[in-house]
Every structure is written in structure tokens, then in C-alpha cells.
Amino acid sequence: MKSLKKKRRIQVIIAAFVALTISGVLIGTAFKDGINFFRSPSEVIAEPPISTEVFRIGGLVEDGSVVRGQGETVSFSVTDGGATVPVIYTGVLPDLFEENQGMVGTGKYINGVFEASEILAKHDETYMPKEVVDALKAQGVYQAPEDS
């Protein structure tokens, strides 16, 4: 009788271990596809990511760099004051997208150009994503908005 209980316990422990391992692998795979790391233009230039990696880039839209192409294609440059990365995006830009304003884009860095699949712009006069502020501060070009 004791050996049967012992076998059952071992079977339950092994089954629980297998279930935890499988669930861990499934969760890890899901996170791998859903996590987008943030990089500043200086980080992208210093250590270019592989062309299949999806990540977020943020900074200021460089003054005079916005060029509207055929249809909904737009190209521009994003900078953090230390480096500049060319960006190409096909789609409708947010209404608040402007030159010299903060933006965050999601996409891939292919052949020296960031190909964005999504562009986000500031939502009011004072907001800028924390990651963008930190990157601009690191380059010494961030100017805090003046309170009115």
C-alpha cells in the first residue's frame, strides 16, 4: 500500500513539473513576440539591431526632414541630439505629429532605415514619453517645458 502511494506522489510531481515547464515555454514564447524594447537613435547607431527585431525608437522629429511621398508614405528623421536615424512610414500620421516634437515609432531597422509600422506622437503641449525624455537628457538636449 505504501509503495502505491509513493508511486502516485511521484507521478503527480512529475506531471506538475511537466505542466509547469510547458506553461513556462508558452508564456516565454508569447512574451518574446509581445515585448518591444525602446532604443534612442544614438543606441540604434551604436549597436544596430538585427533586421528581424521589432523595437521602439523615440526622439524628436528633425526640423525640415519630413518628406511626403506617394500615397500615405512619409519619410523623416528622428534625433536625440547625438544621432539621427532615417524613418519611413506608410500610413496616416497622428494629427499631433510635427517637426521638433516628440515621437515614438514601432518597427524594424533595415539597411540603415527604420521602417515603422506604427507612429505615436505627443498628446498635448507638455507630454513626452519618459523613454524619449531620458534619451534626450542623456544627450544633453532636453529642455523642460515652461509652466504657464
Residue 145 lies inside a defined structural domain of this protein? no
3-state secondary structure of 105: strand
The pLDDT value recorded for residue 126 is: 58
Asked if residue 58 lies in contact with residue 135, where contact means CB atoms within 8 angstroms, the answer is: yes
Asked if residue 94 lies in contact with residue 49, where contact means CB atoms within 8 angstroms, the answer is: no
Same domain membership, residue 42 and residue 24:
no
Asked if residue 113 lies in contact with residue 87, where contact means CB atoms within 8 angstroms, the answer is: yes
Asked if residue 74 lies in contact with residue 115, where contact means CB atoms within 8 angstroms, the answer is: no
Has residue 147 got a pLDDT over 90? no
Same domain membership, residue 116 and residue 53:
yes
Taking the model in full, what pTM does it have? 0.64
The pLDDT value recorded for residue 37 is: 79
Residue bearing the bigger pLDDT, 40 or 123: 40
pLDDT tens per residue across span 109-129: 999 999 999 998 865 555 566
* CATH at residue 53: 2.40.50.140
Give the domain range for residue 92.
Answer: 37-139
pLDDT tens per residue across span 52-93: 888 899 888 988 898 987 788 999 999 988 899 999 999 888
Same domain membership, residue 17 and residue 31:
yes
Cα separations in angstroms, 14 against 1, 4, 22, 90:
20, 15, 12, 51
Residue 43 lies inside a defined structural domain of this protein? yes
Same domain membership, residue 121 and residue 69:
yes
**Average pLDDT of the residues of the chain:** 83
